[in-house]
A = this chain, B = another copy of it.
Amino acid sequence: MAKQKVLLLGATGETGSSILNGLQESGNFDIEVLVRPASVNKPSVQKIQEQGIKTRCIDINESSDLVSVLSGIDILISAIGPHDLLQQKKLLQAAKSAGIKRIVPCAFITVAPPHGAMLLRDEKEEIYNDIKFLGIPYTIIDVGFWYQISFPSLPSGKIDYASLMPNNIIHDDGTAPNLLTDLRDVGRFVARIVCDDRTLNKYVYTYGDILSENEIYLIAEELSGEILKPTPMSNKQIEDAVAQAKTALSQDPQDPMKRISVYKSQYQHSKYVRKDNGPAYADYLGYLNARTLYPEFTPISFREYFAEVLAGKGKKPYASS
């Protein structure tokens, strides 16, 4: 069977890099990467080109002929950044006209309500609605939260090198179960999901482990031998943080850092107060479970990941681009 032709957007980001690796590992795809003219000379793009991956250089906001750009592509995967989500709109009519067989819009977040709980999710819903309006075959893939941003700091400080923002907060009573996926497994799941007929026009969630913060802390103590002293954060504090972040953003709607603060506080609210990011709510929302679909694939466990971090082999997300 001929390899399916995949075009990937956002290949140099954290999620995009994982997807690129996953697609390459699988060997099932003929991969091309869409690159902005402004990014062509970035080291991250050159690294991709050095791997022999073809790049298509296009500014999706400027191009007058996106249909040609997308022609011949079977699967369009977008891992575009959170500030550029709505740019995907420009691609959709072209994707339909070009006869794309499946679009995978930028999802890759926690399981959350389609509207009203997270600004980031609300914007994604706009894209999903546009896809459904056009009737383009699609798959939505959400991955929960990454292991890489789900571990506590240790009193010794020895794993802070791998932490985006070291902290040892426990939200509410620490019992909310959360879908967690190793960032490196995101692409391995994606490579399976995007060539699977069962996932066409469906939502799919992935996870390596489903853990509460209390369970994460127990694993961290057991593997490190250190005693953690968690800082509790009440639901009220989480709600206040959301309200403050929203107020700040409303005063300065174009500030990307203020937008990120809203995203972050709403993630916490959704994960720990609403307790959205678990299998029960995903099932309710109609998601398929990737672990049930691919029983032969064993993702990295949180325990394995944390042992790597303890051994100094972790990598801080967003450290290079």
On A, residues with C-beta under 8 Å from B are 113-117, 129-130, 132-133, 135, 137, 201-202, 281, 284-286
B201 contacts A286, C-beta separation under 8 Å: yes
Measured in the bound complex, the distance between the Cα atoms of B132 and A114 in whole Å is 8
Measured in the bound complex, the distance between the Cα atoms of B135 and A281 in whole Å is 7
For A132, give the chain B residue with the smallest CB separation.
Answer: B113
A284 contacts B116, C-beta separation under 8 Å: no
Which B residues are CB-close (under 8 A) to A115?
129, 132-133
Question: A176: shortest Cβ distance to chain B, in Å?
Answer: 14
10 closest A-B pairs by beta carbon, nearest first, are: A115-B129, A113-B133, A116-B133, A113-B132, A114-B129, A201-B284, A114-B132, A135-B284, A117-B133, A135-B281
Residue contacts A-B, CB under 8 angstroms, 20 given? A113-B129, A113-B132, A113-B133, A114-B129, A114-B132, A115-B129, A115-B132, A115-B133, A116-B129, A116-B130, A117-B133, A132-B284, A132-B285, A135-B281, A135-B284, A201-B284, A201-B285, A201-B286, A202-B286, A286-B286
For A122, give the chain B residue with the smallest CB separation.
Answer: B129
Question: A281: shortest Cβ distance to chain B, in Å?
Answer: 6
Secondary structure at the A interface, as helix, strand, loop or mixed, is loop
Measured in the bound complex, the distance between the Cα atoms of B285 and A133 in whole Å is 10
Question: A194: shortest Cβ distance to chain B, in Å?
Answer: 17
Which B residues are CB-close (under 8 A) to A202?
286
Which B residues are CB-close (under 8 A) to A116?
129-130, 133
From A129, A130, A137, A202, residue with most partner B Cβ within 10 Å: A129
Measured in the bound complex, the distance between the Cα atoms of B78 and A264 in whole Å is 37
Question: A93: shortest Cβ distance to chain B, in Å?
Answer: 13
Measured in the bound complex, the distance between the Cα atoms of B203 and A201 in whole Å is 14
For A284, give the chain B residue with the smallest CB separation.
Answer: B201
Which B residues are CB-close (under 8 A) to A286?
201-202, 286
Question: A204: shortest Cβ distance to chain B, in Å?
Answer: 13
For A136, give the chain B residue with the smallest CB separation.
Answer: B284
Measured in the bound complex, the distance between the Cα atoms of B156 and A115 in whole Å is 52
From A133, A201, A281, residue with most partner B Cβ within 10 Å: A133
Measured in the bound complex, the distance between the Cα atoms of B116 and A135 in whole Å is 13
Which B residues are CB-close (under 8 A) to A130?
116
Which B residues are CB-close (under 8 A) to A135?
281, 284
Question: A275: shortest Cβ distance to chain B, in Å?
Answer: 10
Measured in the bound complex, the distance between the Cα atoms of B230 and A69 in whole Å is 44
For A128, give the chain B residue with the smallest CB separation.
Answer: B114
